[in-house]
Amino acid sequence: MNMLMETVVVLLILTNLMLLGTSRLFACIRLVAFQGVVLGCLPVLVHSGHVGARAVGLAVGTILLKGVVFPRLLFRALREANIRREVDPFVGYSVSIFAGILALAVSIWTTRHLTIPGPGVSTLIFPVSLFTILVGLFHIVSRRTAISQVLGYLVLENGIYTFAVVIVGEVPLMVELGVLLDIYVAVFVMGITIYHINREFDHIDADQLDSLKG
């Protein structure tokens, strides 16, 4: 079991770093979807020993939503916007990867100073969840297209999800479903918004949407 957890941790780190170094948006979506599928397995892995029906249900729901539904929505938005690459981001790809490694270091340093309650599942899972959160934020900040921001948001949520599943384990089902529904609606709305932004302005560059500034 612990072996599997370590694999999850490694996969998370790798997907995060790859996301930072990828310019093709279709590949980015695929990466985030893959990350979602990996995370979907977490509830089952955390409960070493018996696996309840609830954990399985949650795993299946997460995998379906993050691995199938979101990517489809985003692929559609992308095709409709007719955009393939993130051209000219604010921060270049190699610098992004370095920033990612720096974020990993910061997360490890931070979690070392945190006192984390509950059984230690894996010493690396907490720094990596924080790392995922930071990567998500960095992705939102450093990319230009609206679709990248949606992806950053999803990665950020993945980080929070990892942290929550591992640390609490026993989150009430309602809360979990609520969070899933939340992001489902968020991605849905963002997909529609991107489509409309593109139709209205012929681009989805969020940095040019500042006409409401006071």
Partner 1 sequence: MSLFFVGIGVLLVGGLLSAAAGRNGPWSGRLGALGAVVGCGLALAPAVGVLGTGVALESRLPWPMPGGSFRVEIDALSAFFLLPILALSALAAVYGTGYLRPAPRPPGAHWLYYNALVAGMALTVAARNGILFLIAWETMTLASFFLVTYDHQKESVREAGWIYMVATHLGTAFLLALFLLLQKSSGSLDFDRLEPGTHAGLLFVLAVLGFGTKAGFLPLHVWLPEAHPAAPSHVSALMSGVMIKTGIYGLVRILTLLGPPPLWWGWLLVGIGATSGILGVLFALAQHDLKRLLAYHSVENIGIIALGLGLGVLGVASGSHTLAVLGFAGGLLHVANHAAFKGLLFLGAGAVLHATGAREIDHLGGLQKKMPWTAGCFLVGAAAISGLPPLNGFVSEFLIYLGAFRAVSGLGTGVAVPAIAVIGSLALIGGLAAACFSKAYGMVFLGEARSGHAEHAHDPGGAMVAPMLVLAAACAAIGLAGPWVVRAIGPAIAALAGPGDLPETGLLGRVSLGAGAFLALAALLAFLRSRLLAGRRVGAAATWGCGYAAPSPRMQYTASSYAQPLTDLLRLFLRTRKHLRQPGGYFPGPSSLETETPDVCRDRIFEPVFRGFGWVLARLNWLQVGQVHLYVLYIALTLLALLIWRLH
d(CA 74, CA 189): 11
Residues numbered 149-188 forming contacts with partner 1, rule: CB under 8 A? 149
Interface segment toward partner 1; rule CB under 8 A; list 28-36, 140-148, 157-165, 189-197 = 140-148
CA distances (Å), origin 158, targets 35, 54, 59, 131, 173: 8, 20, 13, 11, 17
Q: What does the buried/exposed string (b/e) look like for 67-78 if buried means 16 or more CB atoms within 10 Å of the residue's CB?
A: beebbebbbebb
141 binds partner 1, rule: CB under 8 A = yes
Of the two residues 47 and 203, which places its CB atom closer to partner 1 in the complex?
A: 203
Number of residues written out for the chain: 214
Counting residues that bind partner 1 (by CB under 8 A) gives 21
Q: How many CB atoms lie within 10 A of CB 92?
A: 13
114 binds partner 1, rule: CB under 8 A = yes
Of the two residues 125 and 156, which places its CB atom closer to partner 1 in the complex?
A: 156
138 binds partner 1, rule: CB under 8 A = yes
- Name the minimum Å distance from CB 137 to partner 1: 4
d(CA 166, CA 154): 18
Residues numbered 41-70 forming contacts with partner 1, rule: CB under 8 A? none
90 binds partner 1, rule: CB under 8 A = yes
Of the two residues 50 and 113, which places its CB atom closer to partner 1 in the complex?
A: 113
Can you state the percent helix, strand and coil of the chain, rounding each to 5? 75, 0, 20
212 binds partner 1, rule: CB under 8 A = yes
- Chain residues binding partner 1 by CB under 8 A are 90, 106, 110, 113-114, 134, 137-138, 140-143, 149, 206-207, 209-214
